[in-house]
Amino acid sequence: MELRLALIGFGGVNQGLFELLLTKQDDLRKYGIDAKITAVTDLRLGTVINPAGIDTGALRASIQAGLSSVPLEADPGTTVTPDADLDATLKLVASDFVDVVVEATFTDPQTGEPALSHCRTALESGKHVITTNKGPIALAQKELVSIANRHGVLLKYEGTVMSGTPVLRQISTTLRGCEVTGFSGILNGTSNFVLGEVAAGKTFDTAIKEAQVLGYAEANPAADIEGSDVQLKVMIMANALWGAGLCRDDVSCQGITRLTEHEIRRAMTEGGAWRLVGSARRSPDGTIVASVEPKELPAGHPLLAATGVTNAISFDTDVLGLVTVTGPGAGRVETAFAILSDLIEIGEKVVADATEAAA
């Protein structure tokens, strides 16, 4: 089954997806999927469109050249324009040569824009949507799922919480049959890295600068070290688990900057460690308490398996007890894998629907 993809945003994540699509073609075919990129748009690079499929060789060459201009030179059947503003992108995601919209733009976490508009318009146009953007899912998950259901398409967002580590899929697949009453997790690699470096003897400022040099932290690291990034992830997890409808005000948030370097190093000498922990718990009456705060974890705590930029999350379940998942919480290829796994689920649905219609 052919799936025509529009890549919205062409930074590291969607470039990583492009590379995975090339190397995983045989694996995709096992699921009956023939993925084809028909459009790429990026505010910096412009837009390229070819309803028959963009030439992958030219796109790869452009990536290797550093993408200093639009991703492709014009070849037969390909349209290249510098136009990549919101109106043009909304028109693109509704196009009849697009089946799946992969949304990976830079987005304001306070408003979810422009990703929220991209996702909403695509779903309303009957397109499946995969996004790695936390903003639109944290702020408008219920609305977007409702639109998707109304139009018979899927909204997938595995990469919004722990990059390529499949935590949302744990809820929807492997933990079915268990009641999950709560979770707690280390969901931000930057703050985890900084705490580890401070514990090892560096100052906060030095650790943050090193995180920026290594690409773990943005020029303004506030979202990571003050906890707002984790706050969005807690909202996504709680809403996916329990349909909670949590908003920012429902998740108390405190970052790591109130900790002293002495506190952090003392914990390490005692065998434990400070971690920025995002958590939520659902009471029998349906009440949900959610928070983001630094916690001193004792030696042997399962979340201490997450060191450096690694993430971890523990689910409290009625049947299995505590189930902990650990894996990469960031990374270009890792996040692209989350998109690939979402694409496979969409492909399986499309194939199943086509088989049923033909029966």
Catalytic residue check, 233: yes
The active-site residue, picked from 24, 127, 156, 233, is 233
Q: SS3 of 241, please? A: helix
Those residues with Cβ within 8 angstroms of residue 310's Cβ, 6 or more apart along the chain or in another chain: 186, 189, 192, 326, 327, 328, 329
* Rounded distance between C-alpha atoms, residue 180 and residue 191, angstroms: 26
Token couple for 264 = 């952090």
Contacts 24+ apart (CB under 8 A), 244-250: 244/280, 244/282, 244/288, 245/142, 246/280, 246/288, 246/290, 247/139, 250/288, 250/290
Q: Which residue has the tokens 């998109």?
A: 339
Count of other CB atoms within 10 angstroms of residue 72: 23
Catalytic residues: 233
